[in-house]
Structures are given as C-alpha cells and as structure tokens.
Structure 1
Amino acid sequence: MGDEGLPHGSWTFLTSHARVLLALARDPEVRLREVAETCVLTERTVQAIVADLEQGGYLTRVREGRRNHYRITPGAKFRHPAEAGRDIAGLLALFADDPHASHRKRHRP
C-alpha cells in the first residue's frame, strides 16, 4: 500500500511519519491496524514508523491491559535543519481535529 489512488500524482505534503504521529495524537489508544487504514499504509509499515518515532523520542508506548497507549513527547522538535528548533506541537495542534472522525465508526471491546 502506498499513495495509489491519490489525485494528481503520488506526492503529498505530509510524510507517512507525520500522518502516523497525527493519528496517534488524535487517538492515543487507536490500534495500529486502524492507523494503517487511515494512513493508507500497511500495518507492518506503521509498526516500523512507530518504532522510528519511539527511537527518535517523539512518543512512548505504554501497555495498558491488552492495549497500547501512545503518549506524544511534549516539546519534541522537528528533525530537519530547515525546521530546527520548532516544536512538533504546532503541527499537531493544526491537525488536532480529524475532519473524517464523524464519518468513521470504531468498535472497541
């Protein structure tokens, strides 16, 4: 899975890492399977991205019962030199509300 089905070519403004981080910020208890569907990625790719984000200090994964809970690291900074010194919090705030959430139904045990 990738960016197939996107209008006007295959590039997007946000990376897969940004999309996954935003999905986890919106719903810290979301299943990675659901993140994969939302981000149009494979579950394996999402797992690798979450590992990258954890290793980079952007989030922590806490096991709560049978589920994972994801916590975004406050004050985490962008990695690229062009955005150096800026917190990712501004990006997360910009995309905090999911315009598709009202159209999506989730079943959680």
Structure 2
Amino acid sequence: MRSAKLKFEKRRIRIRHKISKTSNRVRLSIFKSGRHIYAQIIDDSKSITIAAASTLDEKIKKLKKSHCNIENAIKVGKEIAKKADSVGIKDVVFDRGGYKYHGVVKALADAAREKIKF
C-alpha cells in the first residue's frame, strides 16, 4: 500500500506537469505547513518568483490571531492579488500543489480571484 506522502508527491507532480504543459501563463503556487501558508507567483519560462506573500509577512503577522487557518488564508490571498496587480499580472494558472481544493486552499484562491483571473 502506498504511503500518504508518496501519493501526495505523485499528485503534486501530475498537477504541475499538466499546468506547465498546457499554459504559458505565470503560476500561482501555494504551500501549506502546519503553522503557515505561503503563496508565490512564479514565471516558469524565466524561472523567477515575481511576487510572494505568506502569513510570515509583517503586514499579515500583525493582523493574525492564530496560525494557518481560513482567515489568514484570505489575508494572504488578498495580499498576493494586490502584489500581482501592482506588477501588472492579470492572468495566472492556479497550482494547488497536490492539496485538495478545500478549506484553506479554497479560501486563498477565492480571495485572490478578486484581482487576478484564473
């Protein structure tokens, strides 16, 4: 029987391959740890990170009451959308990174959709 970590890695690789194969747009990638959530806008053609936001940012750190939860994911989503808008990015492809589109991931994506299209 496969371990959960191996299943997660295979799912993450499969999703990333589909995204990179079909899209020329920049990628909004997320990562969750036990305490924090991170979002990055990455240009794969140039291999650079254009914008990033996380619950570790000073702006969000002052406002947060607890760690990786839906409230903080919404704040991170709004912040990454604001940074993308300031750089001039309107279209991205969402890379959920192997996580289920549910809870914190969904909250971040919905908050980012206010200014970014994906």
Q: TM-score range by the shorter chain?
A: under 0.3
Instruction: Give the TM-score of the pair, scaled to structure 1.
Output: 0.26
Larger strand proportion of the pair: 2
Instruction: Give the TM-score of the pair, scaled to structure 2.
Output: 0.24
